Structure formats: C-alpha cells, structure tokens
Amino acid sequence: MKAVILAGGKGTRLAPYTRVFPKPMLPIGDKTILEILLLQLKRAGVDEVVLTVGHLAGLMRAFFADGSQYGLKIGYGYEPHPLGTAGPLAQVGGLDETFIVTNGDVLTTLDIADLLRYHREHGAVATIASHRRQVHIDLGVIETCTDHMVCDYVEKPTIDYLVSMGIYVFEPQVLSYIPKGEYLDFPVLVKKLLADEKAVAAYPFEGYWQDLGRPDDYEQAVEDFDHMRKQFLPEED
C-alpha cells in the first residue's frame, strides 16, 4: 500500500514558524506533525510513502531520510513550481493500485484502515474523508427575492457544512484526469470525476480532526495531543 503526502506548501498562514521549518515539521509534543501521520499510515498497512516537497525540501529530506527509522520506505517528489493540491500526483510514479493521499499538516484520530475499507465497500474511484463543521454567523442574515424585496430574516444562524479533511483514497484511474506539469486543485479534480459520472464517496468521520492552518489551530493541536496522545498513537507503550 502506497501513500502520497503533500508537503510542499509554504504554510504562509503559520508564519513566522514556517519561515524556518516546513509546516509538516512543526513539533507536536515530542514529534513532528508528519511523524505522527507516518506512524498512523504504517499502522493502516502502508509500507511506502512519497513526500511531495518544495519549500525547504532539503531540510525535509535530511530529517526523514529513507524512512527506515519508521519502518517505511520514503521517496520524494519535487515540484519545480507550485502545482496545487492535486497536480503533484501526476509527478509520482508507481501509483498502479489503490493509494492514499493526505495533506502533511493534519492531526486526527481517523482510522485510516477503516477509511480504506469504506472506500472498497462503496466501489468508488475516490473517497474523501469528511468532517462536519459548524459556522456561526454573529449577524442577522437577510434573504432577498426579486427587486430587492426581503423574503426572510434569520438572526445569527449556525450553518452546518460537510468539509474535506484533506485525506483521500484514490484508484489509479483518477490519475488520467490530472495533466502532468499543470496546476490542479482537488475541488477541480473531483468536479472532473463527477462530470464523467465517476463514483466519489464521502467517508463521514465524527472523531478528532484539526487542520493546522492557523497559529490558533496549531496551538490547540499541541495541547490536544498532550492530553490525547494514546488516541493518536495507540501502538505506543
């Protein structure tokens, strides 16, 4: 089983931390974010990982090396220029069986083996791990009809969204929708698959998930990992 970890972004929202370290190398407890993810992938049966790198790539390679310290085989794919979230997959060779793709800055208790099982049971070409998030709007929201006439008025609504966790399972045929060397993000890729009537599944996950995009998210994740370590890394003694 192979996995591709997207680790080439500059992480500008987490500056100044990311001016010195790539975002996946920021510490969570005594490990980096990416180390936690690598151990979780290994537990799910992954034995080979490709890191797509760009920003501070040399530091990433020096730290993670060939992956033997994690019981994994780690290779590297270099982006000559930014290719978006999906574009780098076209640069990775050997993806000829079901494979996992994940962002390199995700902290979650998701059971990746269960995600794989769900993907196979649904016969999908792509499965997106999803999480429900609520957005509270602290204002009165006006809905209008024609001629600017008010149809409804909702005071401080809370809106539910099913959002992508940045973790995916793909079948090899998905790669035919990704032009090599061109910029492509995952939402555009999914729309291409849907337009071609391909089966795309959403795996519902209600456990812990934190996208480490902002300083507040990162600081919360550090605190959560300290209290929930066994849930993230149950194989530890």
Strand positions, DSSP E, 85-199: 99-103, 106-108, 126-136, 140-144, 150-155, 158-170
Domain ranges of the chain: 2-130+162-232
Which pLDDT score is estimated for 127?
A: 98
What's the whole-number mean pLDDT along residues 142-169?
A: 92
CATH 3.90.550.10 matches 2-130+162-232: yes
Nearest partner of 106 among 163, 65, 60, 159, judged by Cα: 163
Q: Cβ neighbours of residue 59 under 8 Å, at least 6 residues apart?
A: 21, 22, 25
Over residues 164-189, the pLDDT tens digits come to 999 999 999 999 999 998 999 999 99
What's the whole-number mean pLDDT along residues 187-199?
A: 97
What does pLDDT average to over the chain?
A: 90
Residues forming a β-bridge with 108:
209
Question: Would you say the pTM of this structure is higher than 0.75?
Answer: yes
Which pLDDT score is estimated for 7?
A: 85
* 86 burial type by CB count under 10 A (0-12 exposed, 13-18 middle, 19+ buried): buried
Which pLDDT score is estimated for 82?
A: 81
What are the phi and psi torsion angles at 2 (to 5°)? Answer: -110, 155
